[in-house]
Amino acid sequence: MKIKSFQGGFDKNLSYLIWCESTHIAGIVDASVNMTKLNESIEMHDLKLEKVFITHTHFDHIQFLSDILYQFPKVQLCGYEKPEIELSNHYRKLIHHEIISLGSEMITSLHTPGHYPDSLCFWNKKNNSLFTGDTMFVGRTGRTVDTKSNINHLYTSIYQQILKLPEQTTIYPGHHYGYTPHVTLKENIALSPFFQCSSEDEFIKVMEAYEKGRRTC
């Protein structure tokens, strides 16, 4: 599977154009970035856009959905089975561990609540790629300051799901907040105390210390 990243949006948002090399069937992960550059790549590589993968429904991750649907009216939106907002008649409701085809590529949805209730990660096992949205960034997790966030759920999503994947898995987050746009899980664990906790209580303390540091900066 080929992956090309695009940065823009509100706050260093990242959208990804992904495609099957053998069929040229393509998808977009998060409608966070103006479509101009993505359209250029779609044309350059002679791609057929079939799907948009939605990591969660915070506005900065879906703000260009209407543009995509206008240009590609038959595209299928793929997101969590219980989205926080209603999106489109073309919406495919995904359950945990559902497999979605993209040409000959297979992508698995992982329900990873915590940052937001409808958060999903999308895992391509063959390519060791994980699109994490705002659940995991380079160097830290997503925040849990939204009224619908849940720090306990986030701990479970990180430690019982994402960190159980092969350590060579490369994460592709929803924002470019780190020293590099993406890293392997092994690198991220070594990099950050967020991913080195021995218990949920320790994780909560790390999160609280991070938020306290933001307030005092």
Mean pLDDT confidence for 13-35:
97
Tell me the chain's radius of gyration from C-alpha atoms.
17
Question: Beta strands of the chain (E only): which ranges?
Answer: 2-8, 13-19, 25-29, 48-53, 76-80, 91-94, 99-102, 105-111, 120-124, 129-133, 136-137, 140-141, 170-173, 183-184
- Alpha-carbon distance 120 to 131, whole Å? 9
Owner of token pair 């240009």? 71
Owner of token pair 């799907």? 51
Task: Render pLDDT for 113-131 as a digit per residue (tens, 0 to 9).
Answer: 999 999 999 999 999 999 9
Lowest mean pLDDT among 6-10, 178-182, 209-213: 209-213
**What is the distance, to the nearest Å, from the Cα of residue 1 to the centroid of all Cα atoms in its chain?**
16
The two three-digit tokens of residue 107, written as one number: 């992508």
Does residue 86 or residue 21 have the better pLDDT? 21
> Which residue in 73, 131, 126 sits closest to 103, CA to CA?
126
User: Which band of pLDDT confidence, cut at 50, 70 and 90, is reported for residue 215?
Assistant: low
Judge whether residue 54 has pLDDT over 80: yes
Owner of token pair 């154009």? 17
Question: pLDDT value at position 214?
Answer: 74
Which CA distances in Å does 173 have to 66, 75, 102, 152, 213? 22, 23, 20, 20, 22
Task: Render pLDDT for 127-160 as a digit per residue (tens, 0 to 9).
Answer: 999 999 999 999 999 999 999 999 999 999 999 9
Does residue 109 or residue 212 have the better pLDDT? 109
Kindly give, in sequence order, each residue whose CB lies less than 8 Å from that of residue 72, ignoring residues fewer than 6 positions away. 49
Task: Render pLDDT for 87-96 as a digit per residue (tens, 0 to 9).
Answer: 877 899 999 9
Question: pLDDT value at position 217?
Answer: 37
Lowest mean pLDDT among 83-97, 154-168, 172-186: 83-97
Domains of the chain from N-terminus onward: 2-216 (3.60.15.10)
